[in-house]
Structure 1
Amino acid sequence: MVRKLSFWGLSISVWLAGMALLGGMFGWNLAWFKDWQWLAEQTGWRFWLSQWLFRALLCLPLVLGLLVLLHPLWLGRRVLAATKADLVVAAAPNAETLSRRRFMLEAGLLGGLVGYSSVIEPFNPEIVELELPIANLPSRFEGFKIVQLSDLHVCAYTPATDVARAVSLINQLDADIVAITGDFVDQHAKFADDATVPLRQLQAREGIFSVLGNHDYYTGDIDRMIWAIKRADLGLLINQHTIIRRGADRLNLVGLDDPKHDDGDGWSHSSIDPARAFAKLRASDPCITLLHNPIFAPSVVKAYGPQLILAGHTHGGQIWVPILTESVVRSRDHFVAGRYQLANSQIYVNRGWGFTGPPLRFAKRPEISVVRLTRGQESALRD
């Protein structure tokens, strides 16, 4: 009986160790890796080699953690060295058997899945094109094209080289404006130049516009972030609006500060000020709003009713797990990814470009959104 209790106790401990390993990789946000300046400074073949080696090393503990979660009983019994006196434990009806061939097969499958999520999907961005009808869109803005980039999260493993790749793709899209919806860096202000300098090359007829995200605040040096963004001439809007004019026609563009950068359950009322941002706008003009975290979108829609809100923050969940990803992200941020209808407003949530936590993406490719405005009544979008 004591042996059996020891067996189960060790198995549970091994399972908890696997949970702690995976939880640590996600929950601790891998800050010690993201701070590696030398990794971010590699270019050319050195960049690809260092990134692949780094990600391969990162895959090993992740695969081990998944195997521990899948087979705690088998691993527990292997650790608890069996003697002839322990055969009753080994023969326990609930004890799991695992052949070496099965172990290698599962390890290979998990390694391949993690490898794909680390070195293939993150470098395979998707350009999502969609038309959004705006009821009161002036004729001169028919076909107005907004290209959205979000959540760069520049750090050691999303360096300036990767931002330049996004810029190259965007410059082929013939944008009227480019909207950047926050999280330029992951959590270190020292990467501010790496995030913003490549963005100076962005091309758009009516300009580049941006807002801040919660991770820009997490750096602890928001003044440096703001300075870098403004120096790159990225049209930073902090509770401000601008008006895009084509002849006598006008399109309002509002940029809101991040409402949740205190990382708590409440709003950062000290920073977000929609009353100031929407002040003195003509109600007859259509309004496009840039907002990093979509959790605040219902409040904005209820109070001000902009025709369109462009947001980011969620990464679409970043790693798709059936049912779990959608429910977790929706419970936390209200919206997951893609377009939604809320009253007479439309909301589009971009999946982002970089990572939060481990540099992994599965079934949630990096995204550049191309939103084309059209005249007409709002269509029925998904709730």
Structure 2
Amino acid sequence: MPRWLIPVLIVLILIVSVEIYTFQAFKTISKSKLIRFSYIAISVAVYMYFFITILTYDRSKGQTPEFQMAMGILLSFSIPKLVIVFVLFGEDMYRWVLKLFSVISSSETQSLVGRRKFVSQIALGLAAIPFASFIYGIIQGKYNYKVIKYQLSFDDLPTAFDGYTITQISDIHSGSFTNKEKIQYGVDLINEQKSDLMLFTGDIVNNKADEMDNWIDVFKQLEAKEGKFAILGNHDYGDYMDWNSPQDKIDNFQRVKEIHKKIGFDLLLDEHRYLEKDGQKIALVGVENWGKGFNQAGDLQRASSKIKKEDFKILMSHDPSHWQEKVKMDDFNYHLTLSGHTHGLQMGIEIPGFLKWSPSQFVYKQWAGLYQEFGRYINVNRGFGYHAFPGRVGIWPEITVIELKKA
């Protein structure tokens, strides 16, 4: 048996099992053949659309909006089905326990037909919540921009920078955009913050430089009084698609770097800039992408080679695993690190002050928001755009505003 066949069989078995459970829920609550047939027809159509899209997907074109929509539709229907399976399987476990008890005690069990219908209704009701959430996330959630503000105090912040404001954006992923009016609204909202400094922490495209062609006129409108700076993210290197030749990939990477200049950003490639105010200065350091286990292009030592240890430092590094693995323990003391990359997986639950959860936290220790260790901070921006899944559910697109204060 070919090795590739084993995971395919496992996936098929899981799909069939989920569909059987979900179909049983519809079958239990209704005797209508129309409802049953509609469920089967819709499920088959969703799977066919997804697999046809995957099988005909041209990796030389990068991740297209069509690919993302196929993924979005599949998730919108699959996650609710998993909720149904969880509820019904739990009810089945309860049945098996009762049956085992009846065998041991030689007693008869009560009929659970009515109970099964009630549980199926509960399961479908619960499944409707993620289904509606995913549909909202695809239609509107990905444009539900949130401005998140922090005030951070430091003992060694130069006095001239007391009250200095920074707007951070990250993960534009222009290749995913389809609605210029909504993106313009997001850009206008960024400008409304009127910050001193604007920092972009990587992933301007999904893969190809030309994904940004239709959006340059929008993003060149971004304004900041003291300048705009940027770094590269993992997607900017073009590593996630098939190129016709190695030279094509090199040429694309060069064009991606040139995009930043077109929209008025100073791209930092393992280098620094001093920001000066009233005769005092702080160091802004920008590294190329450094991720745990992949694409470790960034060289922090090179980027910081011409600054001093006693300087107040802001580091831009796309992947927060860099902070976790290298930066936070570095005795060179990077006061504030700004990252992105995770998107918070674009799905989760956040209730400010009470709950913050996403599957992303099982991969990244710092996955969304502000964290502090050893007196050093990292902010992980949830991203301006979206990727893979064409929406956001509970984890909204973010514009971060940070005010620096002298402690």
Question: Normalising to structure 1: TM-score of the pair?
Answer: 0.73
Which whole-Å CA distance do the structure 2 matches of 1:97 and 1:283 have between them?
A: 67
Name the structure 2 match of 1:236: 267
Are 1:251 and 2:282 counterparts? yes
Which whole-Å CA distance do the structure 1 matches of 2:83 and 2:272 have between them?
A: 52
Gaps of 5+ in 1: 1-8, 40-53, 76-91, 377-383
Give the match's secondary structure for 2:192. Answer: coil
Are 1:356 and 2:376 counterparts? no
Q: How do residues 1-383 of structure 1 correspond to structure 2 at under 5 angstroms?
A: 13-15=16-18, 34-36=63-65, 61-71=74-84, 109-157=129-177, 161-217=181-237, 218=239, 220=249, 221-260=252-291, 266-269=293-296, 271-298=297-324, 299-303=326-330, 304-320=332-348, 326=357, 328-376=359-407
Q: Which deviations, in whole Å up to 9, do the C-alpha atoms of 1:45-85 show, x marking residues without a partner?
A: xxxxxxxxx97x8765444324543456999xxxxxxxxxx
Amino acid at match of 2:341: H
Q: Which deviations, in whole Å up to 9, do the C-alpha atoms of 1:134-189 show, x marking residues without a partner?
A: 22111111111100111111124455554432221111111111001111112333
Name the structure 2 match of 1:50: none
Name the structure 1 match of 2:40: none
Give the match's secondary structure for 2:266. Answer: coil
Amino acid at match of 1:125: Y
Give the match's secondary structure for 2:257. Answer: helix
How large is the RMSD of aligned CA atoms in angstroms? 4.1
Q: CA deviation at 1:131?
A: 0.4
> CA distance change for structure 1 residues 197 and 293 in 2, over 3 Å: closer, same or farther?
farther
Question: Normalising to structure 2: TM-score of the pair?
Answer: 0.69
Which whole-Å CA distance do the structure 2 matches of 1:347 and 1:194 have between them?
A: 32
Amino acid at match of 1:35: T
- Asked if structure 1 preserves the Cα contact closer than 8 Å seen for 2:318 and 2:340, the reply is yes
Which whole-Å CA distance do the structure 1 matches of 2:137 and 2:15 have between them?
A: 28
Indicate the larger mover: 187-196 or 234-243: 187-196
- Asked if structure 1 preserves the Cα contact closer than 8 Å seen for 2:318 and 2:341, the reply is yes
Which whole-Å CA distance do the structure 2 matches of 1:278 and 1:177 have between them?
A: 20
Q: CA deviation at 1:192?
A: 2.7
- Asked if structure 2 preserves the Cα contact closer than 8 Å seen for 1:184 and 1:196, the reply is no
> CA distance change for structure 1 residues 35 and 73 in 2, over 3 Å: closer, same or farther?
closer
Which whole-Å CA distance do the structure 2 matches of 1:203 and 1:96 have between them?
A: 61
Name the structure 2 match of 1:89: none
Which whole-Å CA distance do the structure 1 matches of 2:14 and 2:379 have between them?
A: 45
Which whole-Å CA distance do the structure 2 matches of 1:258 and 1:133 have between them?
A: 28
- Asked if structure 1 preserves the Cα contact closer than 8 Å seen for 2:21 and 2:84, the reply is no
Give the match's secondary structure for 2:168. Answer: strand
- Asked if structure 1 preserves the Cα contact closer than 8 Å seen for 2:143 and 2:186, the reply is no
- Asked if structure 1 preserves the Cα contact closer than 8 Å seen for 2:167 and 2:400, the reply is yes
Gaps of 5+ in 2: 1-11, 23-42, 89-110, 241-248
Indicate the larger mover: 101-110 or 240-249: 101-110
Name the structure 2 match of 1:42: none
Q: Which deviations, in whole Å up to 9, do the C-alpha atoms of 1:318-369 show, x marking residues without a partner?
A: 11169x9847423423211111112131111111111122122122111100
Q: Which deviations, in whole Å up to 9, do the C-alpha atoms of 1:288-307 show, x marking residues without a partner?
A: 11111010013123223111
> CA distance change for structure 1 residues 316 and 174 in 2, over 3 Å: closer, same or farther?
same
Computing the radius of gyration over CA atoms, which structure comes out larger, 1 or 2? 2
**Overall identity of the aligned pairs, in %:** 26
Amino acid at match of 2:254: D
Give the match's secondary structure for 1:373. Answer: strand
Which whole-Å CA distance do the structure 1 matches of 2:86 and 2:319 have between them?
A: 42
> CA distance change for structure 1 residues 74 and 135 in 2, over 3 Å: closer, same or farther?
closer
Name the structure 2 match of 1:46: none
Give the match's secondary structure for 2:328. Answer: helix
